[in-house]
Amino acid sequence: MIPVFKPHMNKKKILPELEKILDSGWIGLGPKTKEFEDKFAAYLKAPHAVAVNSCTSALHLAVLAAGLKEGDEVLVPTMTFVSTALVLLYEKIIPVFVDSDPKTLCMDPEDARRKLTPKTRAMIPVHFGGHAADLTSLQALAREHQLILIEDCAHATGGTYHGQKLGTFGDFSCFSFHAVKNLPTADGGMVLAKTAKADAQLRKLRWLGIDKDTWARNDNKYAWRYSIEELGYKYHMNDITAVIGLAQLETLDEDNQRRAKLAARYQRELTGLSSIECPVEIPPAVSAWHNYVIKVENETQRNDLGSYLGNEGISTGVHYEPIHRHKVFQGRARMENLPVAEHQWTRLLTLPLFPTLSDQEHDQVISGIKTFLRKTTTLAV
């Protein structure tokens, strides 16, 4: 079966580094985590980066460090993974779901503007599929209404906007190193802040609120002494994950180039086939191509194509069923007027895209789609 996603692990580099770290006697939060933070920040040209155990944790900490409180409203896209909005519920903050741009499937800035109220304090745009949200409009909206901008970069490690790395635009930004993301470590995340003060707060919050982490204490004469002044969480990264992250960072650009090449080939082969709409890459965005989501005619065709490809040994997915539809948000979020997302998601199908997808497997997917269309439509091909 050809999967939809598959992590590419830089085993040559990872295995010897893992051996070293396992022998070192220090596998928790330590110097390798710091090295990964520094190298990741340098890669993005960002001032601060704090390593955590997932993007969900990163989002939760960003919300806390941003000072958002119970009853505040936060604009979030509905076309995303649940974490983007779920972390708001942890703090009894109200997610206000925003509709999608029909082309990029990112948050629609005009709909965001329509949904502002005096209680709106922040927005969390997602760079859907690795393609930048409309940052020019969203930054303008944030400036105009003093909103905190938190970028959800779970899909977007390595993507750019106006030549600048995604994750360097917001007051905070959050990355995922989950198994199928562009820089996979199995699980992991990074939260970026603009100021040293926010960076220090994030470091404390990721480690139960303790004022010194174990690594810092290891260096200290009074290693046993620490204080806890505010409620924190056990969200830190460990050095085993960090050595994997460091190795994966070395192949990130190469992996993203392979993703882009495969995406361009899909584009060439599928553009013009009746009823298929390919994902777009609109300048000044350069996508990180986390996924490849096509739009077909309607829900029936989407489901039939998915089943047909499944029978041919090709996995597909749907990213996403709009998350406001999940029961957990009922009574806890605002979710009015989301016509684009409600319509578009029924047409979405995610095709296999990952760095180690071979040309032959890629051909198999493309010819599977063409054969399906030939069999089921008269206009196609």
Ligand X SMILES: Cc1ncc(COP(=O)(O)O)c(C=O)c1O
Query: Among residues 177 and 372, whose Cβ is nearest to ligand X?
Result: 177
Query: Among residues 126 and 166, whose Cβ is nearest to ligand X?
Result: 126
CB of 150 to ligand X, least distance (A): 11
Sign, CA dihedral 15-53-355-317, equals positive
Residues between 178 and 237 with contacts to ligand X, criterion CB under 6 A: 178, 189
Judged by CB under 6 A, does residue 80 bind ligand X?
Answer: yes
User: Which of 10, 33, 78, 83 contacts ligand X by CB under 6 A?
Assistant: 83
Near ligand X by CB under 6 A, which window of 148-156, 242-250, 303-311, 364-372?
148-156
Judged by CB under 6 A, does residue 56 bind ligand X?
Answer: yes
Near ligand X by CB under 6 A, which window of 16-24, 152-160, 263-271, 370-378?
152-160
Q: Both tokens of residue 301?
A: 């065709």
Judged by CB under 6 A, does residue 84 bind ligand X?
Answer: yes
Judged by CB under 6 A, does residue 147 bind ligand X?
Answer: no
CB of 100 to ligand X, least distance (A): 13
Label residue 283 exposed, middle or buried (CB < 10 Å: 0-12, 13-18, 19+).
exposed
CA distances to 216, 217, 326, 352 from 3, in Å: 42, 44, 26, 6
Near ligand X by CB under 6 A, which window of 8-16, 61-69, 150-158, 352-360?
150-158
212-217's contacts with Cβ under 8 Å and 24+ in sequence apart are 213/29, 214/28, 214/29, 214/30, 215/28, 215/29, 215/30, 215/31, 215/33, 215/34
Cα 105-106-108 angle, rounded to 5 deg: 105
CB of 57 to ligand X, least distance (A): 7
Residues between 117 and 136 with contacts to ligand X, criterion CB under 6 A: 126
For strand 292-295 and strand 120-123, is the pairing parallel, antiparallel, or unpaired?
Answer: unpaired
Instruction: Please report, as a single letter, which amino acid is at residue 152.
Output: D
CA 364 to chain CA mean position, Å: 28
Judged by CB under 6 A, does residue 176 bind ligand X?
Answer: yes
CB of 293 to ligand X, least distance (A): 12
Closest to 290 in 3D by CA, of 46, 55, 17, 122: 55
Query: Among residues 80 and 364, whose Cβ is nearest to ligand X?
Result: 80
**Catalytic (active-site) positions:** 181
Q: Both tokens of residue 14?
A: 């990872």
Near ligand X by CB under 6 A, which window of 53-61, 250-258, 338-346, 363-371?
53-61
Near ligand X by CB under 6 A, which window of 6-14, 76-84, 303-311, 373-381?
76-84
CB of 253 to ligand X, least distance (A): 21
Instruction: Please report, as a single letter, which amino acid is at residue 263.
Output: A
Question: Applying CB under 6 A, what is the total number of residues that bind ligand X?
Answer: 14
Range list of H helices, the chain: 11-24, 31-44, 55-65, 83-90, 109-114, 135-144, 196-205, 214-218, 239-270, 299-311, 339-344, 359-376
Judged by CB under 6 A, does residue 78 bind ligand X?
Answer: no
Rounded Cα gap, residues 342 and 372, in angstroms? 26
Task: Tell me which residues touch ligand X (CB under 6 A).
Answer: 54-56, 80-81, 83-84, 126, 152, 154-155, 176, 178, 189
